[in-house]
Amino acid sequence: MKKIISFIIISTILSVLISSCADYKPIYATSNFNFKIEDHSISGDKKLGNLIYRKLNNISLSNKDNLNSHLIKVNDDLGLGLIIKN
């Protein structure tokens, strides 16, 4: 009997908590991007530059009413330094 009552109480609490988050929307989850990539250039790490370009291009292609066209330049510079502690 004690197990049944505790199960009912726990399931009620969990259902209330889950249903209170039903209208959650992330802050940056918007699809109103109005841009078009006209041309792009990549310098530095080509793999990372192509990844950034592909993601931006997919976002720009998702919107058919592209009003603003932009030139994209991706410059990646990797700097390695040596730190010595005595």
Q: Using H for helix, E for strand and C for coil, what is the string for 43-56?
A: ECCHHHHHHHHHHH
pLDDT band at 86 (very low <50, low <70, confident <90, very high): low
pLDDT, position 66: 59
Helix (H) or strand (E) holding 11: helix 2-20
Three-state DSSP class for residue 29: coil
- Is 83 part of a structural domain of the chain? no
By the 8 A CB rule, do 36 and 66 touch?
Answer: yes
Is 24 inside any structural domain? yes
On whether residue 81 sits in a domain, the answer given is: no
Q: Which domain holds residue 28?
A: 2-75
How many distinct structural domains can be found in the chain?
Answer: 1
φ, ψ at 61 (rounded to 5°): -75, -20
SS3 assignment, position 68: strand
Read off the pLDDT of residues 23-70 as tens digits, 9 standing for 90 and up.
767 766 666 677 788 888 988 888 888 898 898 888 877 777 757 888
